[in-house]
Amino acid sequence: MFQQLFSPSVQHTLDLVGIFVFAISGALLAVRKNFDVFGIAVLAEVTALGGGLFRDLVIGAVPPAAFTDLGYFSTPLLAALLVFFLHPQVERIQVAVNVFDAAGLGLFCVAGTTKAYAHGLGLTASAALGLATAVGGGVLRDVLANEVPSLLRWDRDLYAVPAIVGATLVVLCLRYDVLNPFTSGLAAVTAFVLRLLAMRFHWRAPRAWNRRSTVAEE
């Protein structure tokens, strides 16, 4: 399984890095929305932990890791504190934040898929929960901030598609019994690279064929 790719301590560190970067994105949106310190903390926590929390509840892994590991819960608070005081500086390194966010996307879509499968779900359901793990927090963040989730907007660079590709590669490896540390890492890297390319070249999903919408474009 994916957890064999690194030692438990290294895996835990990578989880915390991904959580931290996701929390940064939530906290930055809260600042742009002029939220107070509590709102910044809430958006940071939801963005970082929402996807994994949803997955754990669905598969019955209770209590969820977010409530049993103090590091998982406190890391978003650290990110919120950082953004609260240093948000102009954090905004200036947005490119670096986006790169780490892409890495978190790749890591979480693979880890979420393998954890769901390990708890007895089928291949399709496991891939769906892998996707939810990677993007669920961002959806909750946008909903709480009263925005159309970026996941659903045509004018945003591909985000869910790289996660779908990563999760699909994992279930294909499971299907043909070739899931190992190398193939797991390859799936995560594939999702990571696809997300970077989407940001670099502004790749977007197609809209409806022969669209005749009267809705004004933003």
Q: Is 58 helix (H, G, I), strand (E, B) or coil?
A: helix
How much is the pLDDT for 1? 46
CA dihedral 67, 82, 189, 163 (to 10 degrees): 60
Which tokens go with 46?
């939801």
Sorted by sequence, the CB contacts under 8 Å of residue 100 that are 6+ apart come out as 17, 18, 21
How much is the pLDDT for 215? 57
Sorted by sequence, the CB contacts under 8 Å of residue 166 that are 6+ apart come out as 105, 106, 109, 110, 113, 130, 134, 187, 188, 190, 191
Q: Supply the DSSP string of 5-42, one letter for each residue.
A: GS-HHHHHHHHHHHHHHHHHHHHHHHHHTT--HHHHHH
Strand ranges inside 46-178, DSSP E: none
Rg of the Cα atoms in the chain: 17
141 contacts 28 by C-beta, under 8 angstroms? no
Q: How far is CA 191 from CA 58, 59, 102, 164, 196, in A?
A: 23, 23, 8, 8, 9
Residue 7 vs residue 31, higher pLDDT: 31
Q: Taking Cα atoms as reference points, which of 122, 198, 216 lies closest to residue 160?
A: 198
Rounded Cα–Cα distance for residues 135 and 148 (Å)? 14
The residues spanned by each domain of the chain are 2-201
Residue 214, pLDDT above cutoff 60: no
- How much is the pTM? 0.86
H or E stretch covering 136: helix 123-144
Q: 2: pLDDT confidence band, cut at 50, 70 and 90? A: very low
Task: Spell out a b/e string for 201-215, using b for 16 or more CB atoms within 10 Å of the CB, else e.
Answer: eeeeeeeeeeeeeee
159 contacts 141 by C-beta, under 8 angstroms? no
**Mean pLDDT computed over every residue of the chain:** 88
Q: 89: pLDDT confidence band, cut at 50, 70 and 90? A: confident
How much is the pLDDT for 217? 54
Query: 138-173 pLDDT, tens per residue?
Result: 999 999 999 999 888 888 899 999 999 999 999 999
